[in-house]
Amino acid sequence: PMGSERMEMRKRQMSTTQETPGAAQAQHSTGNRGSNACCFCWCCCCSCSCLTVRNQDEERTRRTSHELQAEGIPNCEESPAPTLEEVNAWAQSFDKLMLTPAGRNAFREFLRTEFSEENMLFWMACEELKQESNKSVIEEKARLIYEDYISILSPKEVSLDSRVREVINRNMLEPSQHTFDDAQLQIYTLMHRDSYPRFMNSAIYKDLLRSLSEKSIEA
């Protein structure tokens, strides 16, 4: 009996030894499948290389859109330095501020500090669109404006109500110079009511006004 038990134990050991490589191979095979799991199972895609490549492609496309838009809208409008009279006029009305490139540049600098520069960028893009007459150029610029400022996927999305968004979506079926008119007016009103009063009390405006006043006295 003892011999039989030893033989049985030896058989079990041999059986276990033979099964182990197979199990290891199966485990290794499963691991290989896991590394490419995005092709078979959505739950593992978050860390796979395929998704990384896909995300990089999407980011490259989005970045290209922003760069094209930036080419159409310079970082700063060219304008002579504002006079003391002009800067004082900005305090009279928001319209007077927005009429001059120097006023828009100063206001845009302030909006950047509040992380709402996209409002001015969108308004300027709409103004530029209105100057176009070539249909293909209009369609391309309208698409860029939509992607950069209207799409909910854009980091520069502006705040618009649902009614205006519906109007834009209808207009995008056949883009024109006036596709974003309602949205542009809404953003203009938002800047006027929300940001303009704070700009008038900001260090940016007060420092500029003080600097020009001192130069005027010295002259």
Q: What is the pLDDT of residue 78?
A: 82
| Domain positions in the chain | 84-216
* pLDDT in 10s for each residue of the chain, 219 residues: 444 445 455 545 555 444 444 444 444 444 444 444 343 333 333 334 344 434 444 444 444 344 433 343 446 678 789 999 999 999 999 999 999 999 999 999 999 999 999 999 999 999 999 999 999 999 999 999 999 999 999 999 999 999 999 999 999 999 999 999 999 999 999 999 999 999 999 999 999 999 999 998 887
- Tell me how far apart the alpha carbons of residues 51 and 76 are, in angstroms, rounded to a whole number: 37
Q: What is the pLDDT of residue 10?
A: 53
Q: What is the pLDDT of residue 77?
A: 78
Tell whether domain 84-216 is in CATH 1.10.167.10: yes
Q: Which of 129, 124, 126, 111 is nearest to 164 (CA)?
A: 126
- Tell me how far apart the alpha carbons of residues 177 and 167 are, in angstroms, rounded to a whole number: 14
Structure tokens of 89? 């006029």
**How many other CB atoms sit within 10 Å of the CB of residue 112?**
13
Q: Which of 63, 67, 35 is nearest to 48 (CA)?
A: 35
Q: Which of 86, 149, 89 is nearest to 117 (CA)?
A: 149
Alpha-carbon Rg of the chain, whole angstroms?
Answer: 32
Structure tokens of 129? 């669109």
Q: Which of 154, 62, 146, 143 is nearest to 54 (CA)?
A: 62
Q: What is the pLDDT of residue 79?
A: 78
Which residue do the tokens 């100057």 mark?
131
Q: What is the pLDDT of residue 26?
A: 44
End-to-end CA distance of the chain: 120
Q: What is the pLDDT of residue 50?
A: 41
Q: Is 156 helix (H, G, I), strand (E, B) or coil?
A: coil
Structure tokens of 102? 């120097």
Q: Is 155 helix (H, G, I), strand (E, B) or coil?
A: coil
- Tell me how far apart the alpha carbons of residues 52 and 32 are, in angstroms, rounded to a whole number: 18
Q: How far does Cα 112 stand from its chain's mean position?
A: 14
Cβ-proximal residues to 179 (8 Å cutoff; 6+ apart), any chain? 129, 142, 145, 168, 171, 172
